[in-house]
Structure formats: structure tokens, C-alpha cells
Amino acid sequence: MKKFTIYLITFITIFFVFFLNIKKTPIYSKTFLIIDTFFPIFISSTLRMIAENDINSKRIKNDYNEKFLPNTQFNRMDFKKIPLDFIKISDIGYLNIIKRKTFYIDLYNDYLFIMPKDGSLYYTTIKDIDENKKNFETISSNLKVKHVLDLFIKDNKIYVSYVKQNNDCSFLHLASANINLKKLKFEDIFYSNECMQLIQAGRIQKTIINKKPFILLSTQSHSFEKEDERDYKPQDDNSIYGKIIAINEKEKTYKTFSKGHRNVLGLFVDDEVILSTENGPRGGDEINRIYKNGNYGWDIASYGKKYHLDESYGDHHKLGFIEPIFSFIPSIGISEIVKIDNNFDKDWQDNYLVATMFSKHLLRVKFNNTFEKLDFYEKIFIGERIRDLKYFDKKSMILMALEDSGSIGVLKDIDGYSQKRKK
């Protein structure tokens, strides 16, 4: 009966898409939003292939020399998904049709911590993840949020960036708590009284500045609702937004570390090297090396273009801003960045991984010695939006927060260095 229903709906959909010739009407794209959301992928992809044959035939040809899991260019990978039943569908999405199961992950000793967008918290062992066991425990806390922006664990402390709502204003907060597997007591160490309509960025890292520990927190530019209007906040030293700020946890003070950012959704610190990944406008997603007091140009310079106007932004170098290491055109929906240790695979030496949402890939990348340019990148198609990304070195395991299905993605090398190390 279930299969019959699916077939019936499929037939009706095909009838509307093709026989009623809605391809040239606004309902066409909305129809496929519904199809992509509720239909199995083999049905939705087949319908798109038929409906857009002129385009998709070119896309197939454009996949020349692309590899798909379990194969990559130089090795074979084992990939699995572990669905998380406790991840709720987000209350955002285009026309409330497309929904996301957004959550964040981080590692603590041999545990994986999972925090959905609503601020609840779960954990399990890496051993259970490796063995595909769904043994998740809850941790209670006093955290009350509109939605979470990031989860970060370091030095036996857990940090959460989140949004609080008051009337029409959203406010950015950062809280911390000592690790306890039973109950967490969070305390705000930073909050802003600056009103925003939308807050998406809030990546957290730790660094040392003048021999003192600081927390780095990314903030986004003013709004995505009026893309073609000037946004003065990223260049305004009186605003925290469009910045990476450095927070002194002990003193509960902060200062601007870098400015001129649009929407930093990935942040990585390794001694003196700080890397960020940043969403651009229409094109122009960036990988940046972050320098203290650096200015990265938004909303004056970008390799992307304005959404509704056929206008370009200025050139970073000519205008005195720091150039990105690399810029992606078209946009890939860039998110988190992590480093892979050299035990993973002989062909993955000094490599980093970059997560994407729109393109649903992992990118394996290598920088030159000065982190001034990208030597290469390889696309590894995952097939879901990757919101968060972590690397567990003890088991040479890549962990992903997949927000289309609300699953933990696990990627391991089948025959690389990591397997030899276990023997």
C-alpha cells in the first residue's frame, strides 16, 4: 500500500511537471522543492534528469574523472551514516518547505558530544560510533536559547555560542561550563546588547595573545535580507558584527581581533596559524588566514557579486584589504575547517578538510608553506549539507554533522596509514 501511494504521487507529480508545462512558471521550482524534500532520492533525481535533460546531460559530461565514494582520487574510504532520532527539524526554511536538522559536534576524551539547535546536549562514546551503536546519553543544563551557533570543548570546559530573542531583536551570547556528564551549569562570559535581525555566525576557538588565553568568536554582518544595501557594521569599530572578536574569559572583556567579515562559519587555530571559512554573497566564498588587526574587506571587497544588481564589489588588494587564500565561484556554502594528521593516509600529508553545505562535499585541501595560497583541492561528495566537522586522531576518523538527515557521518580510510597503525 505504501509503495502504491508513492507511485501514485509520483505519477501525479510527473503529470503536473510535464503535461501541464509548468516548467516556465514560478510553481516549477517550488514543486521540486517539495519533491526533493519528501521523495526518495532516486525518484527526485530521476525526475530532474527528465525535466532538465538539456542541462543534466551536460552535468554528466562535466563529471569526467570525478570519483565517488568509496573511491577518492588516491584511496578508498568507508562511509556510513548514523541517524540521530533526537534531532528535531528546524523551524526555518524556504516557505517552510525545506527543513534542516541542524546540530553541532565536538570531542572530549573518547566521547562525542552532540548539541542540536535547541540547546539540548547528548553524548556517546567514539567506540559506540565506530561500532554503529546508538547509545546516547543526555546531559541536563540551565542553558536557555533561541538557537545554538556552535559547540566547542577545550581544557575540560564546554563553550556554547547562542542567540537570545527579545521582541524583534536577536542578541549574541557566549556561555561556558565545566565538563560534567550529569549536569552542566552554564554562565555567560560574553553577550551583546546590539540588536540584530539575524545571527548565524558564532564559531568558537581558543588562542594565545601576548601570552594570555583568549576565546575567538566569529560574528556575521548585519543582515541577509537586504543584500544590496550597504552594511557598515563590518568596518565600524563600534560594532561587534562582521568581526572576529577576542574574549578574555577571566576578565569578561573583549576586543576586535579582525574585521571586514561577512559570515564566518568555520574557524581553526593551530599555534600561530588561524584559518577561517567565510560565506560570500553571490559567489565569493572564502578561505582566509586571519591576522591580528587584519581587515578582510566586507562589504567593500569581494569576488562575489550583489544579489539583485549586476554589480561587482571592489578588489581586496587594490583597496588595501587582505586577500583571501582562495575564493570559490560559484558559492559552495562553505562551513567548518579541520586539520588531518599525517597518520591518516600517505597521500593526505599536511592536509585539511573543509565542509560545505550547498555543494554537499568535503574538500580535501593543501596550503603552501606560508598559507598564502591553496596548492590544490579535491572534492569528496557526501550528498548532504555538512554543518560541522571534527577529526578524531586516535581512530583516524572523520566525523560530520549531516543536517539533511540529522545523522552523524563517519569517514574512514580503508587501506591507508590509519589501518596500518591499528595493526
Beta bridge partners of 388: 401
Least confident of 52-61, 128-137, 306-315: 52-61
Q: For residue 16, what pLDDT is reported?
A: 56
- pLDDT per residue over 106-128, tens digit each? 999 999 999 999 999 999 999 99
Q: Are 153 and 106 in contact (CB under 8 A)?
A: yes
Q: Are 105 and 82 in contact (CB under 8 A)?
A: no
pLDDT tier, 375 (very low <50, low <70, confident <90, very high otherwise): very high
pLDDT over 90 at 189, yes or no: yes
Look up the pTM and report it: 0.86
Supply the mean pLDDT for the chain. Answer: 87
To the nearest whole percent, how much of the chain has pLDDT over 90? 66
Beta bridge partners of 206: 215
Give mean pLDDT, residues 149-173.
Answer: 94
- pLDDT per residue over 19-50, tens digit each? 445 555 566 666 767 777 777 777 777 777 77
DSSP 297-313: -TTTB-SSB-SSSS-B-
User: How many C-beta atoms lie closer than 10 Å to residue 55's C-beta?
Assistant: 10
Grid coordinates given for 251: 576578565
pLDDT tier, 9 (very low <50, low <70, confident <90, very high otherwise): low
Beta bridge partners of 255: 246
Length of the chain in terms of residues written: 423
